[in-house]
Amino acid sequence: MALDHDPNETHVMVGMSGGVDSSVTAHILKQQGYEVTGMFMKNWEEDDTEEYCASATDLKDAAQVCERLDIDLHEVNFAHEYWEKVFEHFLAEYQAGRTPNPDILCNKEIKFKEFLLQAESLGAEYIATGHYVAKGFINKSPEHEALLLRGADTNKDQSYFLYTLQQHQLRKSLFPLGEIEKPAVRAIADEQGFVTHNKKDSTGICFIGERRFKDFLSTYLKPNPGNMVGVDGKTVAQHDGLMYYTLGQRQGLNIGGAGDAWYVAGKDINRNELLVVQGHDHPAMLTQIVTADGMDWVSSAAPKLGDVVTAKTRYRQQDHQCEIIEIDEQTLKVRFDQPQRAVTPGQALVFYNGRICLGGATIHSSV
């Protein structure tokens, strides 16, 4: 990773989650000569129970790693900020029939905003996280313009979730795992005797954890059951509430009968109907033109009208070539060379130029 500073006597605050990635991040930075301290962020406490609340265990694991590394560990509670800046938006999106990605907003508002501010208030010059991304620089830029790069581990690359990073945040962030693959990270943790070396990767909603999603969502939003309809307009089953389903979904539809499997292809909010089709690649599931809004560009290399770049509409997806056919300050429209499946409003459309993540926007609609 290219640096614009000398690690020696440089203070970096590591976001310690209690997982293996942040543990190895702290270790690598200390080995490189940085003055390292850790910070554990607690960002959810609304309905913590013995069944769901993993933060106590995560804090204990983070503390053990920091003790082994002989570094200080700070604790901070961002639950209020998370609720106001991430969770309320999360609920509003589901209420509107879209499928939001809270991890992206959490990174934007908490991990690279509130955390950075808190770290700087404690004297840190940089923050570091265990994200699988890398950072580079445009060498000819006197301002050391930073570039967000895909992680070397293509199976773990998390640039999709970090496309909202602004220049000052990216320049102040370090990503030691950007050029390392996950098996090697676990091997380092094992060699160092970290309690986290074989800890399962976290899944579920950012900071909220692994919960029965349907039960969790119904705690905050009132379900509104309705009809599942086919492309012919005929009712084929009942849905439990549009908020529980996402485009491309197969599981949990409970539609009987013969033929190909059923998939969610769309939502009609006004009629409270869920459009379902048979067949993985049904034409109703495919689209080539995508409209998005709320753009965030990482660097000055933002796409322009007519540019041909690559983009992807969900995390676990290969990016595909597309052309910018409309763009202004708030919205853009792209045409993919190949039809894209189950493009979902509320998810992110993220653009790339080779390894460089250019930025992205929130999907509004597709045709």
- Our answer to whether residue 206 is catalytic in this structure is yes
Structure tokens at 357: 């993540």
Tell me how far apart the alpha carbons of residues 29 and 36 are, in angstroms, rounded to a whole number.
Answer: 7
**Of 53, 66, 206, 357, which one is the catalytic site residue?**
206
Nearest to 196 by CA among 56, 80, 62: 62
Tell me how far apart the alpha carbons of residues 106 and 90 are, in angstroms, rounded to a whole number.
Answer: 10
CB 62 within 8 A of CB 16: yes
**Of 66, 106, 322, 357, which one is the catalytic site residue?**
106
Cross-strand partners of 174: 128
Nearest to 265 by CA among 289, 254, 281, 252: 281
DSSP calls for 187-235: HHHHHTT-TTTTPPPP-SBTTTBS--HHHHHHHHS----EEEE-TTS-E
- Cβ atoms within 10 A of the Cβ of 137, count? 18
Tell me how far apart the alpha carbons of residues 363 and 352 are, in angstroms, rounded to a whole number.
Answer: 16
CB 4 within 8 A of CB 145: no
Please give the DSSP secondary-structure letter assigned to residue 242: G
SS3 179: coil
* Run of H or E including 293: strand 286-297
CB 257 within 8 A of CB 322: no
Among all residues, which ones are annotated catalytic? Answer: 106, 206
